[in-house]
Amino acid sequence: MVYLKIKRQDESREWYDTFETKETPGMTVLEALFYVQEHMDGSLCFRYACRGAVCGSCGMLINRVPRLACRTQVGIAKKENTREGSGDIFVAGQKSEEENEVILIEPLANLDVIRDLIVDMDSFYNLVDSIKPWISSPEEHPEGGNLMDPDLREQIEKYTNCILCACCHGACPVAARDDTYLSPATLAKAWRMHLDPREDNASRQERLNFVDSESGVWGCDLVYKCVAVCPKKVPPTLGIKALREEIEKNKEN
Protein backbone atom coordinates (compact mmCIF):
# COMPACT_ATOMS: atom_id res chain seq x y z
CA MET A 1 0.00 0.00 0.00
CA VAL A 2 1.01 3.63 -0.46
CA TYR A 3 -0.23 6.74 1.31
CA LEU A 4 -0.69 10.03 -0.53
CA LYS A 5 -0.60 13.09 1.70
CA ILE A 6 -2.13 15.78 -0.53
CA LYS A 7 -2.32 19.49 0.15
CA ARG A 8 -5.85 20.77 -0.48
CA GLN A 9 -7.00 24.33 -1.00
CA ASP A 10 -10.43 25.79 -1.59
CA GLU A 11 -10.46 29.60 -1.72
CA SER A 12 -8.83 30.69 1.56
CA ARG A 13 -8.99 27.30 3.33
CA GLU A 14 -5.95 25.00 3.30
CA TRP A 15 -5.52 21.52 4.74
CA TYR A 16 -3.94 18.11 4.08
CA ASP A 17 -5.79 14.88 3.30
CA THR A 18 -4.17 11.45 3.39
CA PHE A 19 -5.40 8.65 1.12
CA GLU A 20 -4.40 4.99 1.20
CA THR A 21 -4.18 3.33 -2.21
CA LYS A 22 -2.98 0.00 -3.49
CA GLU A 23 0.27 0.21 -5.41
CA THR A 24 0.52 -1.60 -8.75
CA PRO A 25 3.76 -2.34 -10.65
CA GLY A 26 5.07 0.76 -12.42
CA MET A 27 2.30 2.94 -11.01
CA THR A 28 2.89 6.69 -11.42
CA VAL A 29 1.84 9.44 -9.04
CA LEU A 30 -0.63 10.63 -11.68
CA GLU A 31 -2.24 7.19 -11.81
CA ALA A 32 -2.46 7.18 -8.01
CA LEU A 33 -4.19 10.59 -8.13
CA PHE A 34 -6.66 9.22 -10.69
CA TYR A 35 -7.45 6.34 -8.32
CA VAL A 36 -8.13 8.75 -5.47
CA GLN A 37 -10.31 10.97 -7.64
CA GLU A 38 -12.31 8.09 -9.12
CA HIS A 39 -12.74 5.91 -6.02
CA MET A 40 -12.19 8.01 -2.89
CA ASP A 41 -12.73 11.74 -3.36
CA GLY A 42 -14.17 13.10 -6.60
CA SER A 43 -13.53 16.68 -5.49
CA LEU A 44 -9.74 16.33 -5.78
CA CYS A 45 -8.49 18.69 -8.52
CA PHE A 46 -5.33 18.38 -10.60
CA ARG A 47 -4.25 18.98 -14.21
CA TYR A 48 -3.22 16.41 -16.78
CA ALA A 49 -3.38 15.92 -20.54
CA CYS A 50 -0.93 13.70 -22.46
CA ARG A 51 0.17 11.41 -19.59
CA GLY A 52 3.48 11.02 -21.45
CA ALA A 53 5.70 13.89 -20.23
CA VAL A 54 5.04 15.94 -23.38
CA CYS A 55 2.44 18.56 -22.41
CA GLY A 56 3.83 19.65 -19.01
CA SER A 57 0.35 19.92 -17.47
CA CYS A 58 0.89 17.74 -14.40
CA GLY A 59 3.77 19.62 -12.79
CA MET A 60 3.54 19.59 -8.99
CA LEU A 61 5.66 19.23 -5.87
CA ILE A 62 6.24 15.57 -5.08
CA ASN A 63 8.14 15.17 -1.83
CA ARG A 64 9.02 18.89 -2.08
CA VAL A 65 10.58 18.47 -5.54
CA PRO A 66 8.97 19.97 -8.69
CA ARG A 67 8.20 17.03 -10.99
CA LEU A 68 5.77 15.72 -13.58
CA ALA A 69 3.33 13.36 -11.89
CA CYS A 70 3.02 11.28 -15.06
CA ARG A 71 6.67 10.26 -15.04
CA THR A 72 7.24 9.92 -11.29
CA GLN A 73 6.81 6.35 -10.11
CA VAL A 74 5.14 5.71 -6.78
CA GLY A 75 7.63 2.96 -5.90
CA ILE A 76 10.53 5.41 -6.00
CA ALA A 77 8.78 8.43 -4.49
CA LYS A 78 7.53 6.61 -1.40
CA LYS A 79 11.10 5.76 -0.36
CA GLU A 80 12.22 9.39 -0.27
CA ASN A 81 12.48 11.57 2.79
CA THR A 82 10.06 14.53 2.58
CA ARG A 83 11.10 16.41 5.74
CA GLU A 84 7.79 18.26 5.71
CA GLY A 85 8.12 21.93 6.56
CA SER A 86 11.84 22.10 5.83
CA GLY A 87 11.34 24.20 2.70
CA ASP A 88 14.20 22.28 1.12
CA ILE A 89 13.31 20.84 -2.28
CA PHE A 90 16.43 18.71 -2.48
CA VAL A 91 16.18 16.34 0.45
CA ALA A 92 17.55 12.84 0.74
CA GLY A 93 17.87 10.04 3.24
CA GLN A 94 15.72 7.40 4.87
CA LYS A 95 12.29 8.00 6.35
CA SER A 96 11.37 7.04 9.85
CA GLU A 97 9.27 3.89 10.16
CA GLU A 98 6.04 5.85 10.70
CA GLU A 99 6.71 7.98 7.58
CA ASN A 100 7.39 4.99 5.35
CA GLU A 101 5.16 4.63 2.28
CA VAL A 102 3.92 8.27 2.49
CA ILE A 103 4.23 10.54 -0.56
CA LEU A 104 3.77 14.26 0.00
CA ILE A 105 2.02 16.01 -2.92
CA GLU A 106 1.59 19.78 -3.12
CA PRO A 107 0.97 22.40 -5.84
CA LEU A 108 3.93 23.98 -7.65
CA ALA A 109 5.58 26.76 -5.67
CA ASN A 110 5.84 30.41 -6.78
CA LEU A 111 2.44 30.36 -8.51
CA ASP A 112 -1.01 31.21 -7.15
CA VAL A 113 -3.17 28.20 -6.33
CA ILE A 114 -6.61 28.00 -7.92
CA ARG A 115 -7.69 24.82 -6.16
CA ASP A 116 -5.87 21.81 -4.69
CA LEU A 117 -2.99 20.97 -7.07
CA ILE A 118 -4.07 23.36 -9.83
CA VAL A 119 -2.02 26.56 -10.09
CA ASP A 120 -2.63 29.67 -12.17
CA MET A 121 -0.17 29.41 -15.07
CA ASP A 122 -1.12 32.76 -16.65
CA SER A 123 1.59 34.73 -14.83
CA PHE A 124 4.22 32.20 -15.95
CA TYR A 125 3.05 32.27 -19.57
CA ASN A 126 3.02 36.07 -19.52
CA LEU A 127 6.66 36.06 -18.43
CA VAL A 128 7.57 33.79 -21.34
CA ASP A 129 5.61 35.93 -23.81
CA SER A 130 7.38 39.07 -22.60
CA ILE A 131 10.60 38.18 -24.48
CA LYS A 132 8.70 37.67 -27.76
CA PRO A 133 9.66 34.00 -28.21
CA TRP A 134 9.21 33.87 -31.97
CA ILE A 135 11.40 34.39 -35.01
CA SER A 136 11.29 37.87 -36.55
CA SER A 137 12.93 36.88 -39.82
CA PRO A 138 12.83 39.15 -42.88
CA GLU A 139 10.09 38.67 -45.45
CA GLU A 140 12.60 37.62 -48.11
CA HIS A 141 14.19 34.26 -47.35
CA PRO A 142 17.56 33.06 -48.65
CA GLU A 143 17.48 31.07 -51.86
CA GLY A 144 17.60 27.38 -50.96
CA GLY A 145 16.12 27.99 -47.49
CA ASN A 146 17.68 28.71 -44.10
CA LEU A 147 20.49 26.20 -43.75
CA MET A 148 21.76 25.59 -40.23
CA ASP A 149 25.12 24.33 -39.06
CA PRO A 150 24.68 20.90 -37.36
CA ASP A 151 26.69 21.98 -34.30
CA LEU A 152 24.53 25.09 -33.87
CA ARG A 153 21.37 23.05 -34.33
CA GLU A 154 22.55 20.74 -31.55
CA GLN A 155 23.10 23.73 -29.23
CA ILE A 156 19.63 25.08 -29.96
CA GLU A 157 17.92 21.71 -29.55
CA LYS A 158 18.78 21.58 -25.83
CA TYR A 159 16.51 24.56 -25.32
CA THR A 160 13.74 23.69 -27.79
CA ASN A 161 12.93 20.66 -25.60
CA CYS A 162 11.25 22.94 -23.02
CA ILE A 163 7.58 21.99 -22.51
CA LEU A 164 6.70 25.01 -20.30
CA CYS A 165 5.77 22.82 -17.33
CA ALA A 166 7.07 25.52 -14.90
CA CYS A 167 8.97 22.99 -12.78
CA CYS A 168 12.03 25.24 -13.06
CA HIS A 169 9.95 28.23 -11.95
CA GLY A 170 8.68 26.25 -8.97
CA ALA A 171 12.24 25.39 -7.94
CA CYS A 172 13.70 28.88 -8.47
CA PRO A 173 14.69 30.74 -5.26
CA VAL A 174 14.68 34.05 -7.13
CA ALA A 175 11.09 33.57 -8.36
CA ALA A 176 10.16 32.82 -4.74
CA ARG A 177 11.24 36.27 -3.59
CA ASP A 178 10.67 38.36 -6.75
CA ASP A 179 7.50 37.95 -8.80
CA THR A 180 8.93 40.20 -11.54
CA TYR A 181 11.80 37.79 -12.23
CA LEU A 182 11.46 36.46 -15.77
CA SER A 183 11.95 32.83 -14.67
CA PRO A 184 14.50 30.23 -15.82
CA ALA A 185 12.22 29.00 -18.61
CA THR A 186 11.86 32.49 -20.09
CA LEU A 187 15.59 33.18 -20.03
CA ALA A 188 16.36 29.76 -21.51
CA LYS A 189 13.91 30.57 -24.29
CA ALA A 190 15.63 33.96 -24.80
CA TRP A 191 18.96 32.23 -25.34
CA ARG A 192 17.37 29.74 -27.73
CA MET A 193 15.98 32.64 -29.82
CA HIS A 194 19.31 34.46 -29.69
CA LEU A 195 21.12 31.44 -31.11
CA ASP A 196 18.72 30.95 -34.00
CA PRO A 197 20.40 32.21 -37.22
CA ARG A 198 17.00 33.03 -38.73
CA GLU A 199 16.43 35.82 -36.20
CA ASP A 200 17.15 39.35 -37.42
CA ASN A 201 19.78 41.41 -35.61
CA ALA A 202 17.40 44.14 -34.46
CA SER A 203 15.09 41.67 -32.69
CA ARG A 204 18.07 39.83 -31.24
CA GLN A 205 19.45 43.05 -29.75
CA GLU A 206 16.03 44.14 -28.48
CA ARG A 207 15.69 40.85 -26.61
CA LEU A 208 19.18 41.17 -25.13
CA ASN A 209 18.36 44.66 -23.88
CA PHE A 210 15.13 43.40 -22.33
CA VAL A 211 16.80 40.64 -20.26
CA ASP A 212 19.70 42.92 -19.21
CA SER A 213 18.25 43.68 -15.76
CA GLU A 214 17.89 42.38 -12.21
CA SER A 215 14.55 40.90 -13.25
CA GLY A 216 16.40 39.17 -16.06
CA VAL A 217 19.81 37.50 -16.30
CA TRP A 218 21.43 39.47 -13.46
CA GLY A 219 18.85 38.33 -10.93
CA CYS A 220 19.78 34.64 -11.22
CA ASP A 221 21.55 33.11 -8.19
CA LEU A 222 23.29 30.53 -10.43
CA VAL A 223 22.44 27.68 -8.04
CA TYR A 224 21.30 25.30 -10.83
CA LYS A 225 18.08 24.18 -9.12
CA CYS A 226 16.20 24.74 -12.39
CA VAL A 227 18.63 22.44 -14.19
CA ALA A 228 18.24 19.77 -11.51
CA VAL A 229 14.44 19.55 -11.79
CA CYS A 230 13.86 19.98 -15.53
CA PRO A 231 12.16 16.78 -16.82
CA LYS A 232 13.50 17.46 -20.33
CA LYS A 233 17.11 18.18 -19.31
CA VAL A 234 16.98 21.80 -20.46
CA PRO A 235 19.87 23.76 -18.82
CA PRO A 236 18.45 27.26 -18.12
CA THR A 237 21.41 28.33 -15.99
CA LEU A 238 23.86 27.68 -18.83
CA GLY A 239 21.69 29.81 -21.11
CA ILE A 240 21.57 32.59 -18.53
CA LYS A 241 25.35 32.58 -18.17
CA ALA A 242 25.71 32.67 -21.97
CA LEU A 243 23.32 35.65 -22.17
CA ARG A 244 25.37 37.47 -19.53
CA GLU A 245 28.53 36.90 -21.55
CA GLU A 246 26.82 38.13 -24.73
CA ILE A 247 25.60 41.29 -22.98
CA GLU A 248 29.06 42.03 -21.57
CA LYS A 249 30.62 41.46 -24.97
CA ASN A 250 28.20 43.96 -26.56
CA LYS A 251 29.02 46.57 -23.92
CA GLU A 252 32.74 46.20 -24.60
CA ASN A 253 32.11 46.83 -28.28
- Could you list the mean pLDDT of each consecutive 10-residue stretch along the chain, which spans 253 residues? 94 93 94 97 96 95 96 89 47 47 94 97 97 84 80 93 97 97 98 93 94 97 97 97 96 82
Q: Look at residue 92 in the predicted model and tell me its pLDDT.
A: 40
DSSP reduced 3-state for 105: strand
Q: Look at residue 98 in the predicted model and tell me its pLDDT.
A: 52
Distances (CA, A) of 33 to 20, 23, 51, 170, 240: 11, 12, 12, 20, 35
Q: Look at residue 54 in the predicted model and tell me its pLDDT.
A: 94
DSSP string, 35-67: HHHHHT-TT-----SSSSSSS-TTEEEETTEEE
Q: Name all domains of the chain by residue range, CATH numbers in brackets.
A: 2-115 (3.10.20.30), 120-252 (1.10.1060.10)
**Could you tell me the pTM of the whole model?**
0.89
Question: Could you give the angle at the alpha carbon of 35 between the alpha carbons of 32 and 39, nearest 5°?
Answer: 155
Q: Look at residue 93 in the predicted model and tell me its pLDDT.
A: 41
